[in-house]
Structure 1
Amino acid sequence: MQKFSLLFVLALVVLACGGGEDTPSEAPKVTKAEPAKKEIDVKKIWKVRCIACHGLYGDMGTNGAANLQESTKDLEYRINAIKNGSENGVMTAFGDILDDDEIKAMAEYTMTLKKE
């Protein structure tokens, strides 16, 4: 009877420790979340990088800067000018300072400066 009780207790210990099944556990799958899109503060970038030459409203024209209120340049041209500098060399290139998303956001912002 003692041997039977000892065997029963050992069997309970083995089962309690997970020795009963060899199937994989049903752990929930972890999916990688998409990185949150960073919010770009175009007005802050404008004040730090652009206002000295273009002015608050894009029409100041200091040092030969383009009047962005009168400019007819399209978005792609503006992206290129911000990234690589202007064709005439007046505007500094910002491709090493701003990332592509910031450059595009800034180009889009300059499109809103047109006179109405």
Structure 2
Amino acid sequence: MKQTLAFLLIATFVYACGSSDTPEETSGAQQATTATSQADGKKIYKQYCVTCHGLYGDMGASGAFNLTTSELPVADRIVVITKGRGAMTPFENLLDADEIAAVAEYTLELKK
């Protein structure tokens, strides 16, 4: 119970501190950024995924799968990120398809 409450508090904090959709705040930084999908995926991963999966993908908080040992191909990772799995939150309403694909690609780099 305490772990669930802690997770919810951390997830709420991470979500509240995330980027907003207001044009004033997003136009300058996002339009100026010409980074590759890999850089965007890493940034998005750090914003949304590190709470459970950890910085290196092996934390396993709240039952999160160890991404360093995952054998899922990119297409399956996209489905898991989009729809969620088990206790994992679905991100289809938080991220667009390109962002989800970028995170899925980045998670491949976490494999040992």
Q: Quick check: TM above 0.5?
A: yes
Who is 1:9 aligned against? none
Contact 2:67 2:107 in 1 (8 A): yes
* Aligned-residue offset at 1:90: 1.6
Who is 2:30 aligned against? none
* Aligned-residue offset at 1:43: 2.1
Task: Give TM-score, length-normalised by structure 2.
Answer: 0.64
* Aligned-residue offset at 1:108: 0.6
Gaps of 5+ in 2: 1-33
Seq. identity, %: 54
Instruction: Give the letter for the 2:59 counterpart.
Output: M
Who is 1:94 aligned against? 91
C-alpha distance in 2 between matches for 1:110 and 1:82: 11
Which has more radius of gyration?
1
Aligned residues, how many? 76
Q: Deviations over 1:25-81 (max 9, x none)?
A: xxxxxxxxxxxxx75522221111000000000010000000000011111110000
C-alpha distance in 2 between matches for 1:48 and 1:113: 16
Who is 2:51 aligned against? 52
SS for the counterpart of 2:49 is: helix
Who is 1:78 aligned against? 77
C-alpha distance in 1 between matches for 2:108 and 2:101: 11
Who is 1:22 aligned against? none
Compare the two structures and name the one with the higher helix fraction. Answer: 2
Q: CA RMSD in A?
A: 1.3
- State whether structure 2 residue 63 is matched by structure 1 residue 64: yes
Task: Give TM-score, length-normalised by structure 1.
Answer: 0.62
Gaps of 5+ in 1: 1-37
